[in-house]
Structure 1
Amino acid sequence: MTTIDPERDLTLDRVIHAPREAVWDAWSTPSLLAKWWVPAPTVARVDRLEVSPGGAFVTSMSADGALFAPHTDSVFLVVEPHRRLVFTNAVDSGWHPAKPEPVAMTAEISLDDHADGTDYRVVVRHGDAAARSRHEALGFFEGWSAVTAALAALAEGGARP
């Protein structure tokens, strides 16, 4: 487990009442990721999902399901199947330095065994305290909590690829 810097990092923890494999599948299967990756009623489209170190993670979102706008353009840095994913939007899927809006971040998703299923942890790292504060003010906890609840509902409901 990596060290948390409370001045620059935002965290979210939840127990998901499903096995790690089901949570992993929801992260690593495009059709499942599209079901929970953005807060409803917004719709997600997974444009590229290459779950390997250096692989692309590109999604779009739509309010009406017809007109899609860019949402995530990032790369995976670390992939430990069924255990850990780390991705950043500071580098885009073409491996070019990026200046993402609203903030540059590196997200670490950890999956650990729990007596009731999966101990799910998100750590989102920022370059400085101002970026962390901006992300929090823009609704980090509301947004990430909403998508984590949708992820949990999907995994707990037994959705499989």
Structure 2
Amino acid sequence: MNPDLDLTLQRVIRAPRATVWRAWTDPDRFAQWWIPAPTVCRVDQLEARPGGGLVTRMSDDDGVTFAPHMDALFLLVEDEQRLVFTNAVDSSWRPTSPQPVALTAEITFADHPDGTDYRVLVRHGDPSAREHHEKLGFFEGWGAVTGQLATLAESRA
């Protein structure tokens, strides 16, 4: 972790690691928590494997009209342990310049006496990108969706 380039988030989710993992890898469950409510998420592609795509759309509350949200690529998938994806390469393996910021996210899942130790590490290419992402509301946004993930996983535990 490089504090000049990276942003992190950690939370204990009171659910088994397999349940939290499934919320990340099952498209129907993923759509329920990935974008902060009340915005609605639609998952166009979620292939949790190295080289698999992660494509989502979002709708402002109505769930009818959807706009692009993210087009990313999984770099690493270690079953129930770690997911790594980037939006700097899209789901068709083309380099891209994503807005508002290019990033590589590493999500780790570990056993904890109370459930799952869930950690997010988001890497940026330079300090200005990291600072921009933080100012855009990294902690609020990623914190909100992590809370939604926890609510979903804990309700299924």
Q: 1:151 aligns with which of 142, 149, 152?
A: 149
Identity of paired residues, percent? 65
Which TM-score applies when normalising by structure 1?
0.96
Distance apart, 1:92 and its partner CA: 0.5
Which TM-score applies when normalising by structure 2?
0.98
Q: Which residue of 2 is the match for residue 103 of structure 1?
A: 101
Q: Which residue of 1 is the match for residue 6 of structure 2?
A: 9
Q: Which residue of 2 is the match for residue 53 of structure 1?
A: 50
In 1, Cα distance between equivalents of 2:95 and 2:5: 20
Distance apart, 1:15 and its partner CA: 0.2
Distance apart, 1:104 and its partner CA: 0.2
Distance apart, 1:10 and its partner CA: 0.2
User: What is the aligned length?
Assistant: 156
Structure 2: runs of 5 or more not aligned: none
Does residue 1:135 correspond to 2:118, yes or no? no
Distance apart, 1:126 and its partner CA: 0.2
Does residue 1:22 correspond to 2:19, yes or no? yes
Equivalent residue runs for 1:29-44 within 5 Å: 29-44=26-41
Distance apart, 1:75 and its partner CA: 0.3
Q: 2:75 aligns with which of 74, 77, 91?
A: 77
Q: Secondary structure at the match of 1:131?
A: helix
In 2, Cα distance between equivalents of 1:142 and 1:6: 18
CA RMSD between the two structures: 0.6
Give, as a single letter, the amino acid of the residue that structure 2 aligns with 1:11: T
Distance apart, 1:110 and its partner CA: 0.1
Q: 4+ runs of 1 displaced by more than 2 Å? A: none
In 2, Cα distance between equivalents of 1:30 and 1:138: 26
